[in-house]
Amino acid sequence: MFCPFCRYPDSRVIDSRTSDDGLSIRRRRQCPDCGRRFSTNETASLSVIKRNGVVEPFSREKIVSGVRKACQGRPVTDTDLAVLAQKVEEAIRATGAAQIEANDIGLSILPPLKELDEVAYLRFASVYQAFDSLEDFESAITLLRTDHDTRVDAPTQDL
């Protein structure tokens, strides 16, 4: 890649290390022309296959805008949404997949959204999973309740 200082069209890698999560590589580079050093961060590209077959790069912004609607009126901040989008990206990358169907992204959004806000989660799930009856809501809420019970019961399991 070009040197960001003098635009020399080449650079030498002087150090290379994998990030703790193993999902990216940071390279320290030196320009052979001006001698200055800079770093690059390399991650595998992640593409999204849309329903119409078009492939586009994964975008955290799209996750945020997709979830924001479900969070209207809820105590969810922009930072919460940014963290959620990061979790979604990490979950998808952790599968090792280089491409993901747009429809499957919803599956990766549901768990962190449930942790963040259960009302927003129900709204998002109702659209994503195409709830079309009260029973669908009831079973989703029952699952949430079971979740709560499991969490409360966990420390007292031996009693």
Give the binding site for Zn ion (CB under 5 A): 3, 5-6, 8, 31, 33-34
Contact yes or no for 13/29 (Cβ under 8 A): yes
Q: How far is the CB of 31 from Zn ion (least distance, A)?
A: 3
Q: How far is the CB of 97 from Zn ion (least distance, A)?
A: 37
Q: How far is the CB of 2 from Zn ion (least distance, A)?
A: 8
Nearer to Zn ion by Cβ, of 38 and 131: the residue is 38
Contact yes or no for 104/83 (Cβ under 8 A): no
What the block records as the tokens of 110 is 């549901």
Nearer to Zn ion by Cβ, of 39 and 157: the residue is 39
* Burial class for 40, CB neighbours closer than 10 Å (0-12, 13-18, 19+): middle
Category of 7 on φ-ψ map: left (φ > 0), alpha (ψ -120 to 50) or beta: left
Nearer to Zn ion by Cβ, of 7 and 68: the residue is 7
H or E stretch at 66: helix 60-68
Nearer to Zn ion by Cβ, of 32 and 111: the residue is 32
Q: How far is the CB of 35 from Zn ion (least distance, A)?
A: 7
